[in-house]
């Protein structure tokens, strides 16, 4: 994250997909790691950004990161770190709009906190007021994510962890527009490797919103799209998505029944298939 905008250690620290135990959210550890590689961190007084790394430097950094990965999912993590990048050469170097992923993250943050008009303004060419406002929105959005993750980490009663599934109660904390983001972050944590993550929170008009994700290394045969769609329809709700990422919405009075359905079709099914 921040290929064109963040100093190399900061960019590494904000890499949460994949989640790298010991590095993600730990800027000091990332700075120490990059320093140990001998990679040049500054160009004069200016911090270098990941986009300025040459191929040899990228290879050196990847090799250094591997020691922080768990053996059981090291391959998956490294594969996620290496891939295609997309640049918009007409945008200014080191701006949020130069890298395709940064650009999409900026637009996504506008939509997530109900400021879609700002994102539309940028897409229509505004590189002054709207861009400055979007940068402030992105900063706010990232702080919100950190705050939500900290609450979930501190209030452990919200998380029910089994061998095959992690159930997260985000009611009263996570807004429904953020369920996908937070469930993806939880699924990206190495400690949840191989599991299905299901997060719920309050929705509009007395509803409960669910978001489900398969974590790295999850080999479950459960199709999350079918799980959410069929379950929601069973209880007069709506649901669907993809095999590895899906969501649902039900009325609050059906919550206990829906949770029983999930237990029967995720936890119990997994237990049976592994016996």
What local confidence, expressed as pLDDT, does residue 269 receive?
61
Write the pLDDT tens digit of every residue in 138-183. 999 989 998 999 999 899 999 999 888 999 999 999 999 999 999 9
The dihedral formed by the CA atoms of 50, 56, 57 and 63, expressed in degrees to the nearest 10: 110
What H or E segment, with its residue span, contains residue 179?
A: helix 179-187
What local confidence, expressed as pLDDT, does residue 195 receive?
94
What local confidence, expressed as pLDDT, does residue 172 receive?
96
Q: Looking at the predicted structure, is the pLDDT value of residue 11 above 80?
A: yes
Name which of 259, 248, 266, 252 is nearest 211 in CA terms. 248
Binned at pLDDT 50, 70 and 90, residue 188 comes out as confident
Fold of the domain spanning 156-273: Diaminopimelate Epimerase; Chain A, domain 1 (3.10.310)
% of the chain with per-residue pLDDT over 90:
74
Residue bearing the bigger pLDDT, 31 or 273: 31
Write the pLDDT tens digit of every residue in 209-221. 999 999 978 889 9
% of the chain with per-residue pLDDT over 70:
95
What local confidence, expressed as pLDDT, does residue 219 receive?
87
Query: Average pLDDT in the 178-200 region?
Result: 92
What local confidence, expressed as pLDDT, does residue 163 receive?
87
Name which of 261, 165, 259 is nearest 220 in CA terms. 165
What local confidence, expressed as pLDDT, does residue 29 receive?
93
Write the pLDDT tens digit of every residue in 54-100. 999 999 999 898 877 766 567 777 888 888 899 999 999 999 999 99
Task: Say if CB 125 and CB 131 are below 8 A apart.
Answer: no
Name which of 150, 159, 143, 155 is nearest 200 in CA terms. 159
Please give the structure tokens belonging to residue 114: 């109900």
What local confidence, expressed as pLDDT, does residue 144 receive?
94
Tell me the domain boundaries of the chain: 1-83, 87-154, 156-273
What local confidence, expressed as pLDDT, does residue 171 receive?
97
Beta bridge partners of 250: 208
Cα separation, 82 vs 190, whole angstroms: 18
The dihedral formed by the CA atoms of 64, 66, 69 and 74, expressed in degrees to the nearest 10: 170
What local confidence, expressed as pLDDT, does residue 77 receive?
77
What local confidence, expressed as pLDDT, does residue 268 receive?
63
């Amino acid at each position: 994250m921040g290929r064109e905008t963040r100093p190399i250690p900061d960019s590494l620290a904000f890499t949460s997909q994949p989640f790298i135990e010991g590095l993600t959210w730990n800027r000091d550890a990332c700075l120490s790691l990059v320093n140990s590689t001998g990679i040049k961190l500054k160009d004069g007084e200016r911090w270098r950004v990941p986009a300025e790394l040459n191929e040899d430097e990228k290879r050196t950094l990847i090799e250094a990161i591997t020691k922080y990965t768990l053996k059981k999912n090291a391959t998956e993590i490294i594969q996620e770190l290496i891939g295609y990048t997309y640049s918009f050469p007409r945008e200014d170097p080191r701006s949020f709009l130069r890298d395709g992923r940064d650009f999409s993250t900026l637009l996504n943050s506008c939509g997530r906190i109900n400021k879609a008009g700002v994102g539309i303004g940028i897409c229509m060419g505004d590189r002054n007021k709207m861009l400055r406002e979007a940068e402030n929105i992105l900063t706010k959005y990232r702080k919100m994510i950190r705050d939500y993750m900290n609450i979930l980490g501190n209030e452990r009663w919200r998380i029910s962890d089994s061998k095959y599934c992690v159930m997260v109660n985000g009611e009263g904390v996570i807004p429904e527009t953020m369920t996908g983001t937070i469930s993806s972050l939880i699924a990206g944590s190495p400690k949840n490797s191989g599991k299905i993550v299901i997060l719920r929170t309050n929705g509009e008009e007395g509803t409960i919103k669910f978001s489900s994700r398969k974590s790295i290394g999850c080999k479950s045969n459960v199709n999350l799209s079918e799980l959410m769609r069929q379950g929601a329809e069973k209880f007069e709700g709506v649901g669907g998505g993809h095999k590895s990422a899906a969501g649902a919405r039900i009325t609050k009075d059906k919550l206990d029944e829906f949770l029983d359905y999930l237990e029967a079709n995720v936890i119990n099914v997994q237990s049976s298939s592994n016996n």
